Every structure is written in C-alpha cells, then in structure tokens.
Amino acid sequence: MRRYLPHVIVVFVALATFGSGFALYRAKLAALPAAPKSGPASGTHVRGKAGALVTVEEFGDFQCPPCAGMAVVLEKAEEEYGARLLVIFHHFPLAMHAHAREASLAAEAAGMQGRFWEMHDVLYREQAIWSKAPDVPSLLQSYAGTTGVDLERFKKDLANPEIASRVDADQKLGASRGVTSTPTLFVNNVALPAAEINPAGLHKAIENALKEKPKP
C-alpha cells in the first residue's frame, strides 16, 4: 500500500486542481454581463442579399483586437452560407481606444463614395499597424487611397457633420440595446451571449437560426 501511496496522492491533487479550476471557470461565466436586449435589425452598412434567412448584426470598434478577429470569422461565414446570410455593421467605438472613433469616421467618409466595406476590411486587416502609428490620420488617408476613393473628397467628407452623426446614431442604437463591449453580435435579432462570441458559437447560432421556421 505504501508503494502506491505517492501515486494516490498525485491523483488526488490533480483532481482537486481540476475541480478548483472548473469552479473558477464557472465563477467567471457567472460574472459575465447580461446579454444585450434584442431589437429590430437595421443599419446602413449591409453585406449580403435582402431576404437572407439569417441576419448577423455586429457592433464593432475598429481598434478592438477581438473585432479584427471577428471580421475574419464573419467573412468566412459569408463564404460558407452565401445568400442565406446577411451581415450588418454598426459603429461602437470605445472610449478606451484613442483612435477608434477616428477610424469609424474614416470608414464613413469612404462610405460616402461607396467604399465603406473596402475601408472596413483594410482597417481590420492593418489594425496592428495603424493603431500604434505616430501619425494615424495620414495612415488612414493612405488606406482610403487603396480603396479607390477620391482623396480630396475623402478629406472634405471627414469634416462633414453627417459623418459624425452616423457614428453617433450607431452608438445610441447600441446603447439602447444594451451593448457595452465589442464585438457584440445579434443573430436574427437575438443577442449572442458573450461566452459564445467565437467561431464555434457563431456557427452554432447561425445553424440554429436556419433550422427555425420563418415567421409569417
């Protein structure tokens, strides 16, 4: 018995460690904020075909690293589901990110020339570079140039009050639906819990939405 005693102790310690780790994980889940409120899908920036069976709305921040990761996930979902999926983007720049609002304004300015999604994609793709650059405005302008916009008009549109009002409207919409962090996702008007905002969670939510019978 003494010969096996060390092994028994090791197993006991391992089980105790796993148990405490699981309890900590459960505690962290319990501490997650409540899911945002559901609401009607709407938005200016839409990618996909009208009448799609599933609509995914994102409230995003261009300087938010998890949002950059989610942009890749959503792009793959669009490729996988094709005409069955519609994606809507809402601005929700967080105060903690010094250049997030600036990036949203740049995306809107590009959008005035029909290049919102092109700017959206490059901002997330190059996020690690521009978010730490010493001269962010110049870099954002150079990115806009790669999307094919008229740069002189782009510069003027940046100062257009309508641009700022669009970003403000998205933030107010998000606040009214309980959004406090990014990315926040809604699938067919139902908020995706924070713990499920990942590739597997989004895939599951889309699959479940596809199985639901359309409401008359």
**Which residue is associated with the tokens 């409230």?**
59
DSSP 48: S
Write the pLDDT tens digit of every residue in 53-82. Answer: 999 999 999 999 999 999 999 999 999 999
183: preceding bond cis by omega (within 30 degrees): yes
Write the pLDDT tens digit of every residue in 75-124. Answer: 999 999 999 999 999 999 999 999 999 999 999 999 999 999 999 999 99
Q: Taking a C-beta distance cutoff of 8 angstroms, is the pair 117, 47 a contact?
A: yes
**Which residue is associated with the tokens 């589901």?**
81
Q: 214: pLDDT confidence band, cut at 50, 70 and 90?
A: low
Does pTM surpass 0.95? no
Higher pLDDT, 29 or 202: 202
Higher pLDDT, 5 or 95: 95
Please tell me the distance from the alpha carbon of residue 83 to that of residue 182, in angstroms, as a whole number: 26
